[in-house]
Chains A and B, each alone.
Chain A
Amino acid sequence: MASPSPKSPEQSEKNKQYDRQLRLWGDHGQATLENGHVCLINATALGTETLKSMVLPGVGAITIVDDNNVSDEDIGSNFFLEITSKGLNRGSEALRLILELNPAVQGHAVQEPPDQILQENPDFFKSFNVVIATALNEKTILSLSQHLWDINVPFMLCRSVGFLGSLRIQMKEHTVIEIHPDNDQPDLRLDVPFPALVEYLDGVDLESAELKDHAHIPWIVFLYKAVQKWQTSYQNMWPMSRKEKNDIRNILHEFMKIDNCGVPIYQENIEEAMKAVNTALVPTFLPSRIQELIYSSAATNLTKESSSFWIMCSALRGFVEAEGKGRLPVKGTIPDLTASTDHYVKLMNIYRSQAAMDAEIMYRKVQQIVTQLHCDSISEAEVKLFCAHAHDLCVIKGSNIATEYQLGSNVASYIARHLEEPDVMMVHYVMLRAAEMFISEHCQSPGDWEPEADIAKLKTCVTKFLSDISCSPFPKDDHIHEMCRYGGAEIHTVSAFLGGCIGHEAIKIITKQYKPVNNTLIYDGASTNTAIFTF
């Protein structure tokens, strides 16, 4: 038998290879990732595990900065070094083995210490979308983070010691259009229906519909009609209170068809309407988060350098104030619900057309601004995406690592507050900072050689740190003892867990999809706990 030969084209190799992740961030996310260039400072196990999570999905390019030579300990904990790597430059060896994971990724190795690059060629860092550093000393952390803050390049500072690890993200500002919320709130406008929606809703006659059709009318219609009926007694009002919502439920109940014995017949669509009473009757409003955004100075004082996000926020303000009558553009989606094909498709298209009209207005406004500013143009697709997600726009304002390290009064009281709770995860943060101080003073990790003898020395660092934030010393030495037990060891699985998380967050930063950690992640592999702190 002859096989049918479908005309539709087969997928490209690349689409097949990346299929499982394209379902998470889409083709546009992938394209952004493939244009991304990430810099890793120090190819420790933590560093290479982080890169692995970015190279496999296809980040554009990686650059490894590392002037260390490979030691036996490195080989014992790092999968991307081999026995023959011993004594060779760690960055080059790691790069060679990591690039085997994905031939599409470009790679470079720089065998200079980061301090030297900072002094001699600070512009080096400008070309990266994100800089990730592991195993840095305090001094380099301060100078590098300040420089990256100044040139506005996102910085991820990472540590892995014993069972503990941390990630600190430093970004001036990070904007996200697609946060991919777990449950998407519908935007139905039943309180302020636009003309096409009114026409459709008014056109449905519940009374005359036969049971079969009646059971296939979308719940949105039932809810709208129920409110209309309720409004005959309560003119110009909208059901808000619990009692009023119960009135609506009672009216919905009256809409049910009755069988021969006078018993109401169960209908899935009316059941859905009952369930939606609480959520779908919330009046349409401009979320205060979004209001803040569109009236923030970044959106009101545009310059030629303004990002497309803020230009679109400015256009959004224009829309809200004029055509939107105080409301955002229509989302243009409806939830899945029980309905006939005809009803569902009609309703969907009504919302979709309105969304397209709103997006069209927005696009014209954006174009006007772009012309005035003489800046790069913004595509219609970009504006459409922005409108579809205008309810969920997200801006993260970052803070400088240098400020955190100086332990100014805000930072100090923040840490102290958590220590008082008491929050053991903040204790871990203090221990990581104290261990860093120890390394600066003694040029080795606490407990590296003499775990017992170093306890007193590390305690001095902890006490100093605590007094800097006006806290009394820890009552017990157990966490200090534990840190000395670690002796600066890098445990592979702890680094692998963190590497997965850090690579993941870096992808979020590059693709500008999903909300990244704001701004510090602490991990304790011993208790299997994580915590987020915002410095």
Chain B
Amino acid sequence: MFIVVTTMDSGESQVSEYQNRRWMNIRKLLERSGPFCHPDFEPSAEILDFIMNSCKVLVVGAGGLGCELLKDLALMGFKKIHIVDMDTIELSNLNRQFLFRKNDIGLSKAKCAVEFVNKRIPGCEAVAHHCTIQSLDEGFYRQFHIIVCGLDSIVARRWLNGMLVSLLEYNDDRSLDQSSVIPMVDGGTEGFKGNARVILPGMSACIECTLDLYPPQKTYPLCTIANTPRLPEHCIEYVKVIQWAKENPWGSGTALDGDDPQHVAWVYEKAQERAMKHGIANVTYRLTQGVLKNIIPAVASTNAAIAAACATEVFKLASSCCVNMNNYMILNMADGVYTYTFSAEKRQDCIACSNTPHVMEIESNATLQVIYDKLCEDQGYMMKSPGITTVINGRNKTLYMSSIKSIEERTRDNLKKKVTEMGLYNGADILVADVTTPSTITIKLKLIENEDVEMSR
């Protein structure tokens, strides 16, 4: 505590007087009780001391939301902030990522953001990690009291969610050891819309519990773009998917790079030619870029509002000065300002957080392909490229894995085989790995008899 003036010499007491004044706004919330406080809240100066000197917060992402979050947390008294982002600064970031300037283009987002905020807000000790979230281990994540995410990638969010769930510990009676819970506050924006949510892993709905809240990505069927293009997007997709590989304008092996203006310009021209041929209008450079890079519109104001809503929740979690949002807020600023807060429900069979064995029902004569498709398409899994292994007679056996080319070639034929041909049986476990989760998931197979039983009767 820093208010014990009598034991300090006058220089120090001046500093503490100054600190008291500087943080006066927050101190009113933390050192006074109120009728709407969290039941556990006991006002005291120690709470601010905890926020400043003990509470470690991890900010994931140093983009539109991350910059705002870092500033918001630092001005709410947090000092021990870490921020992780592997990206470097681009010109198109500057319309909202307000800690960066034109001179910073090409530099690490995390480092630049930290440097700026530590300089602007004396006492702030933010630390940057210029790397992927996957390169940091359990020990790293375990050190934080709260994690707040401002990511644009669903896969990264799911991975992080899986990491926090994997840190959970359970007591002997299978009840959750609450001290192992690291709360996660998550924000996301798209144009004038956004959402903010509070997740207590193992206790409330996690990212995997609510996968259906993410809109499916827009895709164009191959036969449409090849045979019956109607929209300018179809023409651009055609050049991207078919014409590029056919013509290899920069030599074979050069992948199409949406950030290379020469590449974009080439696609733009070819797409225009194709559009002209079919009488389709409105292929523009901006649209070409948008389709190639799957660009999501973004503006400073939405990011500011969502990040602030998230930072407010972090402050509530750290201080208990107020009950947390329960537990999901959507914001729409296209027509007035509209928010709606609801309680997203925890899935009893959630693949990540349910702490019960996962069971997958398939017909007894199903092929491995059936399992693979379920893992990719079922609402409860929605995996990207699951690798499937099992243990037979105490030995690991890879059934299918698409992420490594040589293994994919070796195991491809397994997809057509019946699961029983590969030694799987009713009650057998399969182990599934995917980019959406840091840990391998064990799924118990339940083989059910075919429906033609009825016909033979």
Interface, chain A (partner B; CB < 8 A): 1, 3-8, 10-11, 13, 15-24, 45, 49, 52-53, 56-58, 71-73, 75-79, 82-83, 100-102, 162-163, 179-182, 216, 336-337, 339-341, 344-345, 348-349, 447, 451, 478-479, 481-482, 485-487, 489-494, 496-497, 499-501, 503-505, 507, 514-518, 521, 525-530, 532
Q: Is there an interface contact between A345 and B230, defined as CB atoms closer than 8 Å?
A: yes
Q: Is there an interface contact between B24 and A482, defined as CB atoms closer than 8 Å?
A: no
A–B complex contacts, Cβ < 8 Å, 20 sampled: A6-B266, A7-B265, A15-B286, A17-B92, A22-B286, A24-B192, A52-B300, A53-B304, A57-B299, A76-B24, A83-B122, A162-B29, A492-B25, A496-B71, A496-B72, A496-B308, A497-B305, A497-B312, A527-B341, A532-B338
Contact of A13 among B71, B91, B337 (CB under 8 A): B91
Chain B nearest CB from A104 CB (Å) reads 11
Point out which of B94, B101, B307 has the most chain A C-beta atoms below 10 A from its C-beta: B94
CA distance A153 to B169 in the complex (A): 60
Q: Is there an interface contact between B300 and A57, defined as CB atoms closer than 8 Å?
A: yes
Contact of B302 among A23, A447, A489, A500 (CB under 8 A): A500
CA distance A82 to B302 in the complex (A): 25
CA distance A166 to B36 in the complex (A): 20
Q: Is there an interface contact between B26 and A489, defined as CB atoms closer than 8 Å?
A: yes
| B191 interfacial contact with A, CB 8 Å | yes
Among B230-277, those with CB < 8 Å from A are 230-231, 249-251, 261-262, 265-266, 268-269
Q: Is there an interface contact between A19 and B295, defined as CB atoms closer than 8 Å?
A: yes
| B75 interfacial contact with A, CB 8 Å | yes
| B333 interfacial contact with A, CB 8 Å | yes
Q: Is there an interface contact between A526 and B304, defined as CB atoms closer than 8 Å?
A: no
Chain A residues, CB < 8 A from B334: 180, 182, 514-515
Point out which of B23, B231, B299, B309 has the most chain A C-beta atoms below 10 A from its C-beta: B299
Q: Is there an interface contact between B26 and A491, defined as CB atoms closer than 8 Å?
A: yes
Given contacts A7-B269, A8-B268, contact A504 B36 (CB under 8 A): no
CA distance A53 to B300 in the complex (A): 5
Chain A residues, CB < 8 A from B261: 10-11
| B173 interfacial contact with A, CB 8 Å | no
Contacts A179-B335, A492-B25, A518-B336 given; 12 further ones with Cβ under 8 A?
Answer: A4-B250, A24-B297, A76-B75, A341-B280, A485-B29, A490-B25, A493-B76, A503-B304, A517-B337, A526-B323, A528-B339, A529-B339
Chain A nearest CB from B383 CB (Å) reads 28
Contact of B298 among A21, A340, A518, A527 (CB under 8 A): A21
Q: Is there an interface contact between B312 and A493, defined as CB atoms closer than 8 Å?
A: yes
Chain A residues, CB < 8 A from B35: 478-479, 481-482
CA distance A162 to B29 in the complex (A): 8
Q: Is there an interface contact between B75 and A503, defined as CB atoms closer than 8 Å?
A: no
Q: Is there an interface contact between A345 and B279, defined as CB atoms closer than 8 Å?
A: yes
Interface, chain B (partner A; CB < 8 A): 18, 21-26, 28-29, 32-36, 68, 71-72, 75-76, 91-92, 94-96, 98, 101, 120-122, 191-192, 196, 228-231, 249-251, 261-262, 265-266, 268-269, 278-281, 285-286, 289-290, 295-309, 311-313, 315, 322-323, 325, 329, 333-339, 341
CA distance A143 to B286 in the complex (A): 47
Q: Is there an interface contact between B75 and A482, defined as CB atoms closer than 8 Å?
A: no
Given contacts A10-B261, A489-B28, contact A497 B308 (CB under 8 A): yes
CA distance A23 to B23 in the complex (A): 40
Contact of B301 among A451, A481, A503 (CB under 8 A): A503
Chain A nearest CB from B185 CB (Å) reads 12
CA distance A530 to B330 in the complex (A): 11
Contact of B91 among A16, A21, A52, A182 (CB under 8 A): A16
Chain A residues, CB < 8 A from B279: 341, 345, 349
Chain B nearest CB from A346 CB (Å) reads 8
Q: Is there an interface contact between A496 and B299, defined as CB atoms closer than 8 Å?
A: no
Chain A residues, CB < 8 A from B289: 19
CA distance A489 to B311 in the complex (A): 17
CA distance A493 to B286 in the complex (A): 35
CA distance A216 to B95 in the complex (A): 43
Q: Is there an interface contact between B268 and A487, defined as CB atoms closer than 8 Å?
A: no
